[in-house]
Structure 1
Amino acid sequence: MSGPTHDGDKSVRIPDHDLDDLVSTVARLVAESRKQSETLARLTDDSPLTEADEPADRTVEPGAVPVSGRSADTQDSQLDGPSSVFILALDGKAYAEELAALTSWVHHLLLPVYGREITTGRPWCQQWQEHPEAVARLHALWLAWQQLTDVETGLTGPSTWHRDHLDPALIQLRTPDGPFGACTTSPARPNHRLLASPEPAGV
């Protein structure tokens, strides 16, 4: 236990119980600093992901998929432009880059792990990027995955992602009357067709 200070002693003495808190705080700050350095390193990578960059084998280990495939340009345009990170709030180059990053996540993690077989009761479309509802739902699912699989979320994050995000999203996407209802229902017969949406009421 640290003793009292004397008049002639100019050193600062910290009680032992406060010292543990200080060590914990410093460790947390060091971890945050390291994380910020990694973020800065990602931001300085100016090469956006393209289909040509994707490996031929799409059944890679889930752990090899980056948390975020966004390029620096996409993040910069989001800071200068829309206040939302949701893909439907983006346009032009920012939308294209976000869609490329989403495509990488869908093809390298989501489909190999959770794709399941295509059937009449569980349709899918290889051209899902052309279905606005599918893009919106898959992007929301990817955003939730990034947040809930982060180490700071805690040990229950992945379970929460499965229960609250993955299962409801797949039910909506792959139901027979979902966005892929007129698309592929058998792997042997690929098909893609956009269903007409209701016309807005006249004003």
Structure 2
Amino acid sequence: MSQPAHESEPVRIPDHDLDDLVATVTRLVAQSRKQDETLARLTDEQLPQEDSEHVGADLPGGTASPASPADGNPGTTKAEEPASVFILALGPKAYAEELTALTNWVHNLLMPVYGREITTGRPWCRQWQEHPEAVARLHALWLAWQQLTDVQAGLAGPSTWHRDHLDPALLQLRTADGPFGACTTSAGRPHHRLLAAPEPAGA
């Protein structure tokens, strides 16, 4: 049985792949900035009054967010506030579009650079999109990447992203008892299984 690679062994990318990786990073940064601009434009636009009662209708579970009064004035609502950009708060169509963009980032940047070897102590799943926890954590990581690799984040932005976001996220995702605990533990034997969630109290 072959011994797993040492945990501290650096990731080595062949020289002929570096140009492709640089081009991919450049493209993803451009896409991220375009999405930021689109999001900023959308949040600046007020929702039509007649649609305010439907805000949040597409949240998981199909419940609409309440149009609660603001500052005690029953005639005003919080429709002007921007909706959450977190993927779990999106409606089905927006969720699918965001998941496609997230998948592009995970497959073209995150895993080629930070994936390391698959082992029993560091599992992974090719079908990670079917693990809700993995989707949530990877999306949060991607949102932080978009913000902290932007030029406005300053020179320390990427370092902050590695320290505060990447390392904790991978530690949670790829631990043996994480969401992929029942999935692939060897690159040569792909496996996918969703772990059962705990039963709600009183069920």
TM over 0.5: yes
In 2, distance between residues paired with 1:70 and 1:99? 14
Q: Structure 2 counterpart of 1:163, which letter?
A: R
Q: What is the CA distance between 1:70 and its match in structure 2?
A: 4.8
**Structure 1 counterpart of 2:28:** 65
Q: Which residue of 2 aligns with 1:134?
A: 134
Query: What stretches of structure 2 of length at least 5 have no aligned partner?
Result: 1-19, 48-54, 57-82
Question: Aligned partners of 2:35, 2:160: CA distance in 1, in Å?
Answer: 24
Secondary structure of the corresponding residue to residue 161 of structure 1: helix
Partner amino acid for 1:60? L
- Distance in 2 between the 1:188 and 1:95 partners? 31
Partner in structure 2 of residue 109 of structure 1: 109
In 1, distance between residues paired with 2:172 and 2:42?
Answer: 32
Question: Residues 153 and 70 (structure 1 numbering): CA distance in 2 closer, same or farther, change over 3 Å?
Answer: closer
Task: Answer whether contact 1:179 1:195 (CA < 8 A) is retained.
Answer: yes
Deviation at 1:65, TM superposition (A): 1.8
**Distance between the aligned counterparts of 2:169 and 2:144, measured in 1?**
11
Give the aligned partner of residue 159 of structure 1. Answer: 159
Separation in 2, partners of 1:188, 1:108: 21
1:1-203 matches, within 5 Å, as: 60-61=21-22, 62-66=25-29, 67-68=31-32, 70=35, 81-82=55-56, 83-202=83-202
Give the Å deviation of 1:76. Answer: 5.4
Q: In structure 1, the residue corresponding to 2:169 is in which secondary structure?
A: helix
Measure how far apart 1:90 and its partner are.
0.6
Alignment identity in percent?
Answer: 73
Describe the superposition over 1:146-184 as per-residue Cα deviations: whole angstroms up to 9, x where unpaired: 001110111000000000000000000000000000000
Query: Which deviations, in whole Å up to 9, do the C-alpha atoms of 1:66-105 show, x marking residues without a partner?
Result: 35275969x859x765510000001210000000000001
- Paired residues in the alignment total 144
Q: List per-residue Cα deviations over 1:101-152 (Å, max 9, x = no partner).
A: 0000101110111010101110000000000000000000000000011101
Measure the CA separation in 1 of the matches of 2:98 and 2:154: 27
Unmatched 5+ stretches in structure 1? 1-58
1:163 partner SS: helix
4+ runs of 1 displaced by more than 6 Å?
A: none
Q: How far is the alpha carbon of 1:63 from its aligned partner?
A: 2.9
> How far is 1:64 from its partner?
3.1
3-state SS of 1:65 partner: helix
CA contact (8 A) 1:122 1:174 kept: yes
Letter in 2 for 1:64: R
Give the AA of the match of 2:193.
R
Residue type of the alignment partner of 2:105? W
Greater C-alpha Rg: 1
